[in-house]
Amino acid sequence: MAMNKKDQAAFEALQRELLMAKALRFTEPVKRDVVPPSSMGLNKGWDYNSYIGGHGGPRVDVACTSSVHHAFGNDTKTDTQQPRHLYSTKLLALRALRYDVEKQVANILADIDEQIEQEKAAVMEVSNLNNNGVEDASS
């Protein structure tokens, strides 16, 4: 039986909710396992950019490192100062990216939760002041 557009949209919304619920978990950190070469040469691997507000969002891409430089998005030549440890597989880099992003988002949510608690306390304080004032006036 084929679904109409309304049923299809509801089904897709439920699928997305399930994915979001499964995403709310904490994972383990992932160690970088490709070290920069000790002298000449270029080691290749994978790295990530976890900047949430950036163009294109968080992403994993090929990378390379020498003993003095590294590159992200290029594995044939370096273009940025400082060597960098990399990940040997895209899977490891994706897992590391997820861990980094979940820490960022958890910190954002913790800040919001703290603001909520502060606002609840402020509202309770005002409510208590108003209630005390009303009770005092009636006695």
Say whether pLDDT at 134 is over 80: no
Residues 6+ away with beta carbon under 8 Å from 123: none
Does the pLDDT of residue 37 top 90, yes or no? yes
pTM for this predicted structure: 0.80
Question: ∠ CA(60), CA(62), CA(63), 5° rounding?
Answer: 110
**Reduced 3-state DSSP string for 30-58:** CCCCECCCCCCCCEEEEEEECCCCCCCCC
Q: Which helix (H) or strand (E) holds 73?
A: none
Question: Whole-angstrom Cα distance, residue 138 to residue 126?
Answer: 19
| pLDDT tier for residue 52 given thresholds of 50, 70 and 90 | confident
pLDDT at 129: 83
Is residue 69 exposed (0-12), middle (13-18) or buried (19+ Cβ within 10 Å)?
middle
Q: How confident is the model at residue 137 (pLDDT cuts 50, 70, 90)?
A: very low
Per-residue model confidence as pLDDT tens digits over 87-129: 999 999 999 999 999 999 999 999 999 999 999 999 998 888 8
List, in order, residues 6 or more apart from 116 with CB less than 8 Å away. Answer: none
Q: Is the per-residue pLDDT at 138 higher than 80? A: no
- For residues 31 and 87, give the distance between their C-alpha atoms in angstroms, rounded to a whole number: 8
Where do the structural domains in the chain lie, given as residue ranges?
A: 29-138
**pLDDT for res 78:** 96
